Amino acid sequence: MNSAPESAAAAPLSSVSSETERLAALHEYELVDSPADDELSAVIRVAAMVAEVPTASLNLIDENRQCQLTTVGFEGADSPRDSSMCAIQFRAGRFVHVPDATRNPIYANNPWVTGLMADVRFYASAPLITPSGYALGTLCVFDDKVKKLRPDQVSRLLDLADVIVALFERRRQARQFAELAVQRERERRFIETVLETIDVGVVVADPRGRVTVFNRAAREWHGLGPEPELAPSDLPDRYGLFDASGGRRLAEDEVPLLRALRGTDVTGVEMMIKRPDLDPVQITCNARQLVEDDGTVVGAVVAMNDVTRDRATHRALEQAHADLADRGEQLAAAVVELRRSNEELEQFAGAVSHDLVRPMAAAHGYLEMLASERASSLDALGVKWLDAASSAVERMQKLVDALLSYARSGQAPYKPQPVDLDEVLRNVLADLRTITESSHATIDSPEPLPSVLGDPTLLRQLLQNVLDNAMKYRSPERECRIELTAVADGDHWQLQIADNGIGIPPDQRERVFEMFAQVDPAARKGHGIGLSTCQRIMERHGGTITLADTPGGGTTIRLRLPAATQ
């Protein structure tokens, strides 16, 4: 290759836009500001010998400067790019040959020629072109004497420029290989850390079926690590591999890892690991063959999940379900028996009560006749006995009436319909007029009562029992007052009957709903059936009955009843 024309600059290899790419290629080699190795220094020395000049340099051109990476015959240094002789034409990609720079219009005013930085006369440079076509700098030879190179010298200098680029490439590749090795080591450590951290057992076998990898979880379950020299046929016995029930040791062709090695995808296969001195571990396995891009089988891997606790929980749930089923059958039978017993008791109570009504009435009539016609012939003790007998019969009649009321509340057909509680209250007050007047009670409803969904007959019986109780257990210290109010409660109404009577102690408010339960049996004011009847009526309405204090004294009964649909 001969010299470029000495009178004009060569055209650049690339546009301004590609200068960014050229600089990126330069910095990728990581050469700028790095010391040159011995091989590069040796090449520069050979270049000076080939050109038969005392001075030579290896120049790299970056954004702003010329970096003399290594030199011969003078102390190299960085210099501004705009004063560099090599920076003028290096991107043209051609060998530059200037016998006398002082006579070349391109270089004559350069500080390296004028004496400001040096007195260069002869100058030649071979561009350093990467395999991708980017010019990084030059191999430069120069002298303070006029000189002209022979063609063979030009050829050798171009060869040396190629050698320099090859050394750059080798250095870059070596660095990349080192970085890749570091990255692979990091990846290997990362994968190893993951395998040792996760609670999934991972086992890997080579193409011969020899186990090569056991992670932490697998080692803990098997109590062993990998044994690469162990034959595949010995795996079930050595590692304690059994079927899901734990009753039969697996055959070689049943081991999930070996099945996968032979090309079978294994999904969700369950087995048990049983090793001496270790608790059995129930596991599910997923296994796959390991294949390279070219189809070569390099082994197999199995991932195992511990489902011991899940299976124990499942068995416990199955047992619990079985127990519940048994108890459910027993409970159903008990409910049927209880319902039959209740029905028989209700029928018995109704029949007995009904059969007692007539003889009780007869007995009471005869006692009244005896008192009116023969009382004068009785002494004081006889009159006392007669009064006691009359009181006993009267009390028995009331008890029979209460039992009949209780039986009817359970046996009467339940026919729900919209019921106006105001109308029910008016009817009840008419029924209770006598006791209301005798007890001087005031029964008031400040606001109209709502309509509820229920059985009008049962609701009338309910209110009658509640109001009768309130007047029966009035306080002797104040006039009896009873107030009825209603509060909306979602799709229900809460009817409140507040009295100012003697009240019910908090510890008795659950017990008073039991049959024949009384707060003060000695008072002999009732039979303990009224509130039981009320509770039964509320249950048939799907409602609730609760007791609370009335502010200032007394009892408030709360009845929660479904609202009538519009």
What is the percentage of the chain residues whose pLDDT exceeds 90? 50
Amino acid at the residue 338: L
The answer to whether residues 430 and 495 belong to one domain is yes
| C-alpha closest to that of 443 among 430, 454, 456 | 430
Sign of the four-CA dihedral 272, 278, 279, 284? negative
Q: How far is CA 442 from each of CA 109, 328, 446, 516, rounded to the nearest angstrom?
A: 128, 51, 12, 28
Distance, CA of 477 to chain centre:
65
Residue 2 maps to a domain: no
Residue 361 maps to a domain: yes
- Distance CA(523)–CA(501), nearest Å, equals 14
Number of domains into which the chain is organized: 4
- Candidate from 367-381, 485-499, 510-524 with smallest mean pLDDT: 510-524
The answer to whether residues 392 and 469 belong to one domain is no
* Token output for 454: 């229920």
The answer to whether residues 22 and 170 belong to one domain is yes
Residue 213 parent element (H or E)? strand 211-214
The answer to whether residues 339 and 426 belong to one domain is no
With a CB cutoff of 8 Å and minimum separation 6, the contacts of 326 are none
Indicate the residue among 389, 411, 433 that finishes a domain. Answer: 411
CATH of the domain at 262: 3.30.450.20
| C-alpha closest to that of 407 among 342, 339, 472 | 342
The answer to whether residues 279 and 298 belong to one domain is yes
Residue 409 parent element (H or E)? helix 380-411
Q: How far is CA 265 from each of CA 250, 259, 260, 269, 285, rounded to the nearest angstrom?
A: 18, 8, 6, 10, 11
Amino acid at the residue 284: T
- Is the pLDDT score of 492 beyond 80? yes
* Position 413 confidence tier, pLDDT thresholds 50, 70, 90: low
Mean pLDDT of 145-162: 96
The answer to whether residues 213 and 322 belong to one domain is no
Q: What is the pLDDT of residues 64-113, one digit of tens each?
A: 999 999 999 999 889 999 999 999 999 888 999 999 999 999 999 999 99
Residue 373 maps to a domain: yes
Mean pLDDT of 516-538: 66
- Average pLDDT, rounded, for the chain: 84
DSSP tag of 519: S
State whether residue 263 is helix, strand or coil: coil
- Is the pLDDT score of 130 beyond 90? yes
Helix 530-540 and helix 380-411: axis angle, to 10°?
A: 10
- Distance CA(127)–CA(135), nearest Å, equals 6
Distance, CA of 201 to chain centre:
23
Residue range(s) defining the domain that contains residue 259: 201-306
Indicate the residue among 391, 411, 431 that finishes a domain. Answer: 411
φ/ψ of residue 564, rounded to 5: -70, 135
Query: Which one has a higher pLDDT value, 324 or 289?
Result: 289
Length of the chain: 566
pLDDT the model gives residue 407: 57
CATH of the domain at 56: 3.30.450.40
The answer to whether residues 84 and 48 belong to one domain is yes
DSSP tag of 134: -
The answer to whether residues 22 and 149 belong to one domain is yes
- Distance CA(203)–CA(290), nearest Å, equals 12
- Distance CA(266)–CA(253), nearest Å, equals 12
Averaging pLDDT over each range in 63-77, 218-232, 321-335, which range is the top one?
63-77
Query: Which one has a higher pLDDT value, 473 or 512?
Result: 473
Residue 267 maps to a domain: yes
Q: What is the pLDDT of residues 163-195, one digit of tens each?
A: 999 999 999 998 888 888 888 888 888 888 888
- Distance CA(353)–CA(33), nearest Å, equals 118
- Is the pLDDT score of 159 beyond 70? yes
* Token output for 115: 């004496």
Query: Which one has a higher pLDDT value, 141 or 331?
Result: 141
Mean pLDDT of 509-529: 62
Distance, CA of 64 to chain centre:
58
Residue 9 maps to a domain: no
Q: What is the pLDDT of residues 236-286, one digit of tens each?
A: 999 999 999 999 999 999 999 999 999 999 999 999 999 888 889 999 999
Residue 271 maps to a domain: yes
| Rounded CA Rg of the chain | 56
- Distance CA(223)–CA(215), nearest Å, equals 12
pLDDT the model gives residue 352: 58
Task: Report yes or no: 66 and 84 within 8 Å, Cβ to Cβ.
Answer: yes
- Distance CA(558)–CA(222), nearest Å, equals 67
Q: Measured at the alpha carbon of residue 418, what is the angle toward residues 415 and 424, in degrees to the nearest 5?
A: 90
Residue 210 maps to a domain: yes
* Position 35 confidence tier, pLDDT thresholds 50, 70, 90: confident
Cross-strand bridge partners of residue 129: 135
CATH of the domain at 361: 1.10.287.130
Q: How far is CA 96 from each of CA 19, 47, 124, 511, rounded to the nearest angstrom?
A: 21, 15, 5, 118
What is the percentage of the chain residues whose pLDDT exceeds 70? 84
pLDDT the model gives residue 202: 93
The answer to whether residues 407 and 449 belong to one domain is no
The answer to whether residues 426 and 391 belong to one domain is no
The answer to whether residues 207 and 65 belong to one domain is no
- Distance CA(411)–CA(409), nearest Å, equals 6
CATH of the domain at 452: 3.30.565.10
Task: Report yes or no: 386 and 364 within 8 Å, Cβ to Cβ.
Answer: no
The answer to whether residues 56 and 126 belong to one domain is yes
- Is the pLDDT score of 398 beyond 60? no
Burial label for 341, CB within 10 Å (0-12, 13-18, 19+), is exposed
Amino acid at the residue 36: A
Residue 6 maps to a domain: no
- Is the pLDDT score of 56 beyond 90? yes
Amino acid at the residue 267: T
CB atoms within 10 A of CB 69: 21
pLDDT the model gives residue 517: 56
Query: Which one has a higher pLDDT value, 176 or 385?
Result: 176
> Which of left, alpha, beta for 240 (phi over 0: left; psi -120 to 50: alpha)?
left
DSSP tag of 249: B
Strands 96-98 and 122-129: antiparallel
Distance, CA of 407 to chain centre:
55
* Position 1 confidence tier, pLDDT thresholds 50, 70, 90: very low
Mean pLDDT of 446-469: 90
H helices present in 412-452, as ranges: 421-431, 433-438
Query: Which one has a higher pLDDT value, 272 or 344?
Result: 272
- Distance CA(98)–CA(142), nearest Å, equals 9
- Distance CA(60)–CA(62), nearest Å, equals 7
Distance, CA of 354 to chain centre:
66
